[in-house]
Structure 1
């Protein structure tokens, strides 16, 4: 039976962190475009690549190849302090294209205000809230950027434009665009590896964030009514 859940990450380390929580016996699953996903009894997990374009292309390929009931954009992220600290879990109430638009005399103009599409996708509110509560997650807008924030000034600008934002990553909006085009609901779940702000690689805690990602999906697996991510072979 085809798993009903599609999980899309950027890179293999994130994919593997999710798969570790779902099954000890994943199988390789080829997708169009010479992409390879890992399949567990209840989920297909794809590392689609970095950035919104790669995420959208990979998600669209997977959705065109088989029916799915839910798509989850998952991985690690930067967190907006003090709300989202390193190691915490984030669930999106809105998946926002934070830098898709134009610069004008008075500042940034989102693409939606330009009349060229949407600037945000809304996950199913009841489902996303329940998932956030189950994971003990921070719940708020998750921003998708094409360039990772590297200064305090940029972080402050994003918070001013998107009050309540809990984190930023590079793929969620691309995943959501593809899911919406296929009329499949979408969630975004991330764990925090670093604070959004001045770029300081020494402060990043990527292994800790990947462990937290595994733990988040382990909690979901133990509550199969949420996403149907239980492994029937365990």
Structure 2
């Protein structure tokens, strides 16, 4: 895959430091990659992404960082590209009584607003690279569609993580595999800017596990870097 004019977005300085320790920065620059921070959380990520899109005018955006697992196939220390992203937290209520904007019949952006031919709902499709399967993929279903859940606040405990697992009817074709806090905002900004968006996340922990002693951040970022290298022939 041609990697010209690729904007690599990373949420935090710590993730950037860890990810770039596993990537050849000289090679990235030679292939016209721009690397920027998009910030932490849905709002910061959406606003920052729009800023960087206008500044760099890339052909594509790649969002990379860590995420929490919500599915057995998303093993801690592995990484995956995601096919779509669902937004959680925009709507009415909370916990078991939460109703999303789509469930209420409210598009986040109506059709024909912001030059949208279709309404923006709680789900956005993502692009995936043609070379996306790693030789060390530990998933028993490496070709299954993977859905990322973007949340306003990370799961505080296993019960909260379980509620999020149950948000979609489980099928092998589309299951929620992990939660993050930026992908929906980045993807929405890219859609408004008509720029393809790809998301790769390294799985650093089980969603709901707040004990950082159990987290594997560096292996997760190393796995994400490997995915990027394979997809864009950076090895």
The question of a shared fold, defined as TM-score above 0.5 by the shorter chain, is answered with yes
Over 3 Å counting, the alpha-carbon distance change for 1:104 and 1:166 in structure 2 is closer
Over 3 Å counting, the alpha-carbon distance change for 1:20 and 1:106 in structure 2 is closer
Report whether the alignment pairs 1:65 with 2:55.
yes
Aligned to 1:144: 150
**Structure 2: distance between partners of 1:175 and 1:166:** 18
Aligned to 2:166: 160
What is the TM-score normalised by the length of structure 1? 0.79
What is the TM-score normalised by the length of structure 2? 0.78
Aligned to 1:54: 44
Q: Deviations over 1:49-97 (max 9, x none)?
A: 1101111111101111132121122101111242211111122111111
Q: Which runs of 5+ in 1 are unaligned?
A: 27-37, 223-229
Determine which structure has the larger helix proportion and give its number. Answer: 1
Report whether the alignment pairs 1:187 with 2:186.
no
Over 3 Å counting, the alpha-carbon distance change for 1:40 and 1:169 in structure 2 is farther
Report whether the alignment pairs 1:89 with 2:79.
yes
User: Do the aligned residues in 2 keep the contact of 1:89 with 1:189 (CA within 8 Å)?
Assistant: yes
Aligned to 1:116: 107
In the TM superposition, residue 106 of structure 1 has moved relative to its aligned partner by 7.2
User: Do the aligned residues in 2 keep the contact of 1:84 with 1:166 (CA within 8 Å)?
Assistant: yes
Determine which structure has the larger strand proportion and give its number. Answer: 1
Taking only aligned residues, the RMSD between alpha carbons, in angstroms, comes to 2.7
Aligned to 1:200: 211
User: Do the aligned residues in 1 keep the contact of 2:12 with 2:39 (CA within 8 Å)?
Assistant: yes
